[in-house]
């Protein structure tokens, strides 16, 4: 349907939309410094596919070399169910070498591959396979701090293997056949809390802290593999899924000696219906934990005596909106085993900033402040007295590296190239790896000296021929201000040679939910291949971050508290109205698409704003939040028992009578995150209201469609749906 009045630009094959990685995005990931900072290691696919190899870069010799080339682990079909589900929690698509770990001191490196576990005693040494029980996956392997042992979880228990020889030793006991697990993070912790670990070595390698998880009281939610020819156990999955308002897993935190002995359970008296958000060992041998209340309005940072389990409070965070968990608790030391304070991040000012505390939990000073937020804490140089962090200080559309004196003072910006910067600091804060990209710049990775600001090495800068072949142009970033003075940022993809003032059929690409930001000065936006394809066909494609989105401060995000599906829809409709006023959008031809929260938003926009949106593609939509999990849903909505009207108003089914346009629903039948039940309930509502719809199902897909053929077919169907109805 390319407009004959517009200059032609060659349409690329629709397969390019589904191809992963996107142009320019086959880049090194998981970059780590070796313990002596002489080597950099990273994962990279030289074939520009999903199969990663392990590489090393000699900082002094300026040479790259392959350390591990995978011979196994090249297919999803080789993975066990446990591994597949863990990859879903981590949003992991890569195959081959997908993760690795350096020993804390020394030259050893650990990595799983093809369902087996390997260790190299040096980068040049031969890999040796570690012992494992056949048929039972080895989950979450880690070195002990002294490097002499490797730990892992198998069949719900923690095991430790001496690397100098011997058989694996089971260090936790008692869960076999009970339905409990030791050492594994529960679903909620992995999916929503960002805590993927369930056990932690003590600094002296003598003790193991771990979580015991009991989910036996949570009713089973069964998922059937309807597309499989098999019968029996392989045709179904049973999950203990904690629905909003229902019971969570029961969690205990214990410490057990590696050499054998009884468990010391940490004193959690007084906490009821809580979340164990984070666990960290302090340098003085005590154990710290972050404990969040069910309402997620209060978080305690507590410290336990490892021998007795007794607890003391270090600090408490409270919020009228909610607590956003982070990984910016960093102990400070003044010598071996001395705990002299810590760095902590808080949103108490309305924006996430860094604070310096003493060892008793008394605030010494606020290190950063202003109407911007800290993204990450990347390094602390106590010797020189600097704290290094990335932040939105320049603009919420970018992230840059800064440092601020530990003694207080103004932040100093260290990165200057426009765009998004991700930083990995060496152990002594002398050099850092800067991975940056922008709308106009595919990812570049440099090794930089901090003091001289000079680039010591260009680790990665490669032109992807697909970028030029496909003729990709970055979208135009625009901004709008509403009547309340809120600024919204958008990205606009226009057909080649678009003539201003000529209204176009417009498709909104929406996510709209919290903890995410769609519009940034990043290469991801340029290689939004579906948007690029639709623009080639004569559509205007528009993305905008509404109220509730991330990286704009807690008040901006908190607009959705207890009312999901309200202000987000209003804002997206407002964005479309501004495009209409600018003469870009034809108001009679507006569509919308999105996935997950974006699928929810797509369906809601169609049924709540029928005068604005005429066509919607809703991918894996949450249709009623009483069917989603506790930690995510209740953070924003409270429980269904406390906020029944909010849940009802935010349900797609409540508004289906208003449906006037065309709706396509896309869902994977074995989605264990947003269950297909959401779509089934919406279909029942559509039938009751006698409303037409189209349905696209993938029997063997979960929340993230993984098979290339499935993704290609999906793009064809979505594209055809928009062409026929817009």
Nearest to 700 by CA among 676, 720, 683, 721: 676
- Assess contact for 638 and 295: CB atoms under 8 A: yes
Q: Is 175 helix (H, G, I), strand (E, B) or coil?
A: coil
Q: Cα(525)–Cα(488) distance, rounded to whole angstroms? A: 16
Contacts of 683 (CB under 8 A, 6+ apart): 665, 693, 695
* DSSP-assigned letters across all residues of 65-86: EEEE--SS---GGGS-HHHHHH
Burial of 230 by CB count in 10 Å (0-12 exposed, 13-18 middle, 19+ buried)? exposed
Q: Which two tokens stand for residue 705?
A: 């469609």
- Assess contact for 144 and 202: CB atoms under 8 A: no
* DSSP-assigned letters across all residues of 448-492: EETTT--EEEEEE----HHHHHHT--PPEEEEEE-TT--EEEEEE
Q: Is 718 helix (H, G, I), strand (E, B) or coil?
A: helix
What phi and psi values does residue 373 have, to the nearest 5 degrees? -135, 150
Q: Cα(616)–Cα(659) distance, rounded to whole angstroms? A: 11
Q: Which two tokens stand for residue 635?
A: 């953070």
- Sheet holding 287-293: strands in order across? 274-281, 287-293, 298-304, 311-318
Nearest to 543 by CA among 565, 573, 511, 568: 511
Q: Which two tokens stand for residue 600?
A: 């929810």
Q: Cα(564)–Cα(511) distance, rounded to whole angstroms? A: 13
Q: Identify each DSSP E strand in 225-297 by its residue range.
A: 236-240, 250-257, 264-265, 274-281, 287-293
- Assess contact for 536 and 2: CB atoms under 8 A: yes
Helices (H) and strands (E) in the chain, counts: 13, 44
H-helix or E-strand containing 599? helix 597-608
Q: Cα(214)–Cα(194) distance, rounded to whole angstroms? A: 19
Q: Which two tokens stand for residue 403?
A: 């440092």
Burial of 293 by CB count in 10 Å (0-12 exposed, 13-18 middle, 19+ buried)? middle
- Assess contact for 153 and 139: CB atoms under 8 A: yes
Q: Which bin fits 725, alpha (ψ -120 to 50), beta or left (φ > 0)?
A: alpha
Q: Please identify every residue annotated as catalytic.
A: 596, 671, 703
What phi and psi values does residue 96 have, to the nearest 5 degrees? 70, -130
Q: Cα(520)–Cα(526) distance, rounded to whole angstroms? A: 10
Q: Which two tokens stand for residue 655?
A: 């508004």
Q: Cα(52)–Cα(80) distance, rounded to whole angstroms? A: 19
Q: Cα(59)–Cα(74) distance, rounded to whole angstroms? A: 30
Helix axes 529-536, 708-725, angle to 10 degrees: 40
Nearest to 462 by CA among 21, 13, 51, 71: 21
């Amino acid at each position: 349907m390319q407009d004959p009045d517009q200059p032609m630009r060659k349409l690329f094959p629709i397969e390019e939309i589904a191809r992963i990685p996107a142009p320019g995005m086959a880049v090194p990931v998981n970059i780590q410094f070796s313990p002596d900072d002489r080597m950099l290691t990273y994962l990279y696919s030289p074939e520009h596919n999903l199969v990663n190899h392990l590489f090393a870069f000699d900082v002094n010799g300026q040479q790259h070399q392959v350390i591990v080339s995978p011979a196994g682990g090249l297919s999803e079909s080789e993975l066990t169910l446990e591994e597949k589900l863990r990859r879903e929690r981590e949003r992991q698509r890569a195959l081959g070498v997908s993760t690795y770990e350096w020993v804390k001191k020394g030259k050893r490196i650990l990595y799983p591959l093809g369902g087996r576990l390997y260790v190299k005693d040096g980068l040049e040494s031969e890999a040796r396979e570690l012992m494992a029980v056949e048929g039972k996956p080895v989950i979450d392997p880690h070195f002990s701090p002294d490097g002499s042992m490797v730990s892992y979880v198998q069949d719900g228990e923690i095991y430790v293997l001496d690397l100098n020889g011997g058989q694996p030793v089971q260090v936790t006991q008692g869960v076999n056949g009970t339905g409990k697990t030791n050492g594994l993070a529960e679903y909620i912790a992995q999916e929503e809390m960002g805590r993927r670990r369930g056990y932690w070595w003590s600094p002296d390698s003598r003790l193991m802290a771990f979580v015991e998880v009991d989910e036996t009281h949570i009713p089973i939610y069964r998922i059937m593999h309807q597309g499989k020819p098999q019968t029996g156990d392989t045709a179904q999955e049973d999950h203990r899924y904690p629905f909003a308002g229902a019971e969570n897993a029961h969690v205990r935190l214990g410490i057990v000696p590696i050499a054998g002995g009884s468990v010391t359970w940490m004193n959690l008296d007084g906490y009821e219906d809580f979340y164990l958000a984070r666990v960290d060992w302090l340098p003085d041998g005590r154990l710290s934990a972050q404990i969040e209340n069910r309402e997620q309005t209060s978080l305690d940072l507590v410290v336990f005596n490892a021998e007795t389990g007794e607890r003391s409070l270090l600090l408490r965070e409270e919020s009228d909106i909610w607590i956003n968990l982070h990984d910016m608790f960093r102990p400070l030391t003044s010598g071996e085993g001395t705990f002299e304070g810590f760095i902590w991040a808080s949103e108490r000012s309305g924006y996430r900033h860094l604070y310096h505390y003493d060892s008793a939990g008394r605030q010494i000073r606020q290190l950063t402040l202003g109407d911007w937020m800290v993204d990450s804490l990347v390094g602390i140089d106590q010797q020189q007295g600097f704290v290094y962090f990335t932040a939105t200080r320049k603009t919420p559309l970018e992230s840059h590296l800064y440092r601020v004196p530990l003694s207080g003072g103004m932040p100093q910006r260290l990165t200057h190239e426009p765009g998004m910067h991700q930083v990995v600091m060496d152990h002594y804060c002398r050099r850092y790896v800067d991975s940056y990209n922008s709308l106009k710049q595919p990812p570049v990775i440099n090794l930089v000296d901090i003091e001289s600001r000079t680039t010591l090495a260009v680790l990665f800068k490669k032109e992807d021929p697909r970028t030029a072949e496909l003729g990709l142009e970055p979208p135009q970033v625009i901004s709008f201000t509403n009547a309340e003075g809120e600024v919204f940022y958008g990205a606009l993809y226009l057909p080649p040679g678009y003539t201003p003032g000529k209204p176009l059929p417009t498709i909104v690409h929406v996510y709209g939910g919290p903890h995410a930001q769609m519009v940034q000065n990043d290469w991801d936006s340029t290689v939004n291949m579906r948007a690029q394809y639709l623009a080639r066909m004569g559509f205007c494609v528009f993305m905008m971050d509404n109220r509730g989105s991330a990286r704009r401060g807690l008040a901006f995000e908190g607009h959705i508290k207890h009312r999901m599906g309200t202000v987000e829809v209003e804002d997206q409709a407002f964005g479309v109205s501004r495009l209409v006023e600018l003469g870009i959008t034809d108001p009679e031809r507006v569509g919308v698409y999105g996935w997950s929260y974006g699928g929810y938003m797509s369906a809601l926009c169609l049924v709540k704003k029928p005068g604005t949106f005429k066509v919607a593609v809703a991918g894996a939509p949450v249709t009623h939040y009483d069917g989603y999990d506790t930690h995510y849903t209740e953070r924003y909505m409270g429980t269904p028992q406390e906020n029944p009207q909010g849940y009802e108003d935010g349900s797609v089914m409540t508004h289906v009578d208003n449906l006037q346009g065309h709706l396509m629903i896309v869902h994977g039948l074995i989605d264990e995150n947003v269950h297909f039940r959401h779509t089934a309930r919406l279909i029942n509502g559509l039938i009751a209201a006698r409303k037409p719809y189209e349905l696209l199902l993938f029997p063997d897909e979960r929340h993230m469609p993984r098979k290339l053929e499935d993704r290609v077919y999906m793009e064809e169907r979505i594209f055809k749906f928009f062409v026929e109805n817009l």
